[in-house]
Amino acid sequence: MKTSHTLYSILDLALVSQNHTLKQTFNNVLKLAQEAEKYGYTRFWLAEHHNSENIASSATSILIGYVAQGTNTLRIGSGGIMLPNHSPLIIAEQFGTLGSLYPDRIDLGLGRAPGTDRETAQAIRSDFMQAAHSFPNELDKIQRFFSKDNVPSKVRATVAEGVNVPVYILGSSTDSAHLAAKKGLPYAFASHFATTHLWDALNIYRKEFKPSQELQKPYVMAGVNIIIADTDEEAQRLSTSLIRLIVGILTGKRDYVQPPTALTDDLKEVLNHPQVQQMLKYSFIGSKSTVKSQVKTFMEQSQVDELIAVSHIYDIDARIKSYKMFSEIMKELN
């Protein structure tokens, strides 16, 4: 039985809202991180995505540096870097540099999906599928480049050797659970959209976990969608932006984050679609008291060590308010 406090963090995609410039979007990312630091959040992660006009976190390591420069204590990292898109050497050099500039504040979360469509994945790296299948070996290379033991090697990431940048394994299926357990690394599950395998993945990870130099016992993070407002009705209104985002994903017609509207009959019909219900299974939407009850239940069932909140809200002030109330909930539950 888990008895320690449950940490709380943020996953951000630098979503581009309608009628917002990229500069405004990046400024809002930093503003949110600065507020999160005040509210007691542990970390602020940015996700890697490509070829999507409503997601601006494609140059993930650069954006991490921008946010780290504008904050003081918050851990900043990737949720995650899609390793098959990249050379492990280059990622080690990028994050080794970040780790030296912002000591003990940088996280390297790694995933194996492309974070984009098939054509773009091929454009990023022609041998993507081979690299994806080689993910465990690519992970080994990353760890080796960060190790001082790599000093005698002919190929070195000199700016990474001995730099403290913890590695996290990200996943949305059970495959990553086996790998994270075998490697003795912390595990973050994308249950904010991939809900089907959550419980199996957590069971596998905890059952198969082998202590390592990095971690002595299992450490689990789980993603949840959070939208909190003063009333249930207002939160439901704010959630219409998220519903439209999901429709765009399912139909292949992605668009900028839309301003919230009334929860129309058409949107209610979308919400009742089995595929949408499955995607939003771990979405906690409502007033502070409503969401507190939902989060409490999820924490008791999952026994996770950390919740990583995702809040797709059109307006930055409403988004910050939602995250502020979520921090208050977590402090009360802890």
Give pLDDT tens digits for 33-57. Answer: 999 999 999 999 999 999 989 999 9
Tokens 């990229």 belong to 22
Model confidence over 209-256: pLDDT tens digits?
A: 999 999 999 999 999 999 999 999 999 999 999 999 988 888 878 889
By DSSP bridging, strand 187-189 and strand 167-171 are: parallel
Whether the pLDDT of residue 1 is over 50: the answer is no
Q: How far apart are the first and last CA of the chain?
A: 15
For residue 252, the model assigns a pLDDT of 79
By DSSP bridging, strand 167-171 and strand 7-12 are: unpaired
- 310's enclosing H/E stretch is strand 306-310
| Least confident stretch, 110-124, 247-261, 267-281, 285-299 | 110-124
Three-state SS for 155-208 is CCCCCCCCCCCCEEEEECCCHHHHHHHHHCCCEEECCCCCCCCHHHHHHHHHHH
Q: Cα(103)–Cα(266) distance, rounded to whole angstroms? A: 49
Three-state SS for 107-127 is EEEEECCCCCCHHHHHHHCCC
For residue 165, the model assigns a pLDDT of 98
User: How far is CA 68 from its chain centroid?
Assistant: 16
Q: Cα(187)–Cα(201) distance, rounded to whole angstroms? A: 10
- Across all residues in the chain, what is the average pLDDT? 94
Return the CATH fold of 7-231+283-333: TIM Barrel (3.20.20)
Q: 5: which 2 tokens?
A: 């406090």
Query: What's the mean pLDDT in 113-131?
Result: 77
Whether the pLDDT of residue 2 is over 60: the answer is no
Query: What's the mean pLDDT in 104-126?
Result: 85
- Please state the φ and ψ torsions of residue 39, each to the nearest 5 degrees: -90, 0
The total of other beta-carbon atoms located within 10 Å of residue 140's CB is: 13
For residue 207, the model assigns a pLDDT of 98
Q: 191: which 2 tokens?
A: 């249950």
Model confidence over 138-196: pLDDT tens digits?
A: 999 999 999 999 999 999 999 999 999 999 999 999 999 999 999 999 999 999 999 99
For residue 113, the model assigns a pLDDT of 81
User: Which DSSP string do the residues of 59-119 spell out, in sequence order?
Assistant: SHHHHHHHHHHT-SSSEEEEEEEEGGGS-HHHHHHHHHHHHHHSTT-EEEEEE-S-SS-HH
